[in-house]
Amino acid sequence: MDRWRFGGKRRDRHGHQSSGHRLGEVQAGDAVYDVDLEPVWVAQGSVPAFRTLGQGARGDDVRQLQALLKSLGLMDTAPDGRFGPGTARGVERWQREHGERPTGEVPLGRLLFVPELPAKVALQGFHVGSVVSPGSSPAAPDDATVTLEGVGIKVLPAAPTFTITLPESQAALVRTGMSVQISKSEYTWDAEITEIGDFGTDGAAIARLGPTKGSSSICERDCSSIPPGGEAALAARIELIPMTAGVVVPTTALVVGTDGSAAVLAEDGTRMPVTVVASSGGRAVVEGVAVGQKIRIADDAQP
């Protein structure tokens, strides 16, 4: 099971949602949805849009708007957080480019600030024709949700999180560090179990997965193949016993010393220390014995 865990939610103004524009990765200046046939644009910033921005306004939200205009080539001066004639001209140029009446101000609800761009986003709990108003809640917020007003936009991390639900019979066999192979259509990803917890009354557990050593995420450049928002069920295989190559001996040939060390007995009874790499089904892969070496199965057995 994989899930996109959401880093923030933005809700915006009163009206009818007309359409969604961009679900997935968005850049500064993209329109993410329409409200009453008017596009809502996305820009980078930590301060949420909370007022109409026009002549005389000052603050970090103005600075964020100016940074957007500058990145789009609509404003030459450096952002200073003061909405003056230069900012108004940049807004007018922006409005003309999109076929809107050049008012030189940005009404509340037309701009959506998110902490980082580009970012993956998804509409949450709304569809075309939804009636939205201040204070409406499209879904119960979780611990990682910032609640504002109106249409639900969830900002997604660069990669989804992956978990596996383990029934009690399987949970007893699984350990952290075990390898997992995840499959989706033509994609195959390697992961490892980083944490096991959330034991329920039925004994089931949740295994959380992480990337293998040297990888930045589990799905890396293929993460776009997983639809943003919600959950998706994927096939996964846990490697309980890693594939191991080496010399195989019967486990009955192993003798264990008082210090816990393992050994086998040569044909003449000489004790030969070995390292047990893996064992299963009455056989063990060991290091310390050459292929073809004759060993005893038991003290009283023939080699």
Question: pLDDT digit string (tens) for 255-294?
Answer: 998 898 999 999 998 999 999 988 888 899 999 999 989 9
- What pLDDT is stored for residue 132 in this prediction? 52
User: What domains does the chain contain, in order, with CATH numbers?
Assistant: 161-239 (2.40.30), 245-303 (no CATH)
The DSSP call for residue 93 is H
3-state helix, strand, coil in the chain (%, to 5): 15, 35, 50
Radius of gyration of the chain (CA): 30
- What pLDDT is stored for residue 105 in this prediction? 97
Those residues with Cβ within 8 angstroms of residue 233's Cβ, 6 or more apart along the chain or in another chain: 1
- What pLDDT is stored for residue 1 in this prediction? 52
Residue ranges of the chain with pLDDT lower than 50?
Answer: 3-22, 134-151, 300-303
pTM: 0.54
Q: How, if at all, do strands 111-114 and 38-44 pair?
A: parallel
State the amino acid at position 293 in one-letter form: Q
Query: Which is it for the CA torsion 262, 266, 272, 278, positive or negative?
Result: negative
Half-sphere exposure (Cβ direction) of 291: Cα atoms closer than 13 Å? 3
- What pLDDT is stored for residue 179 in this prediction? 94
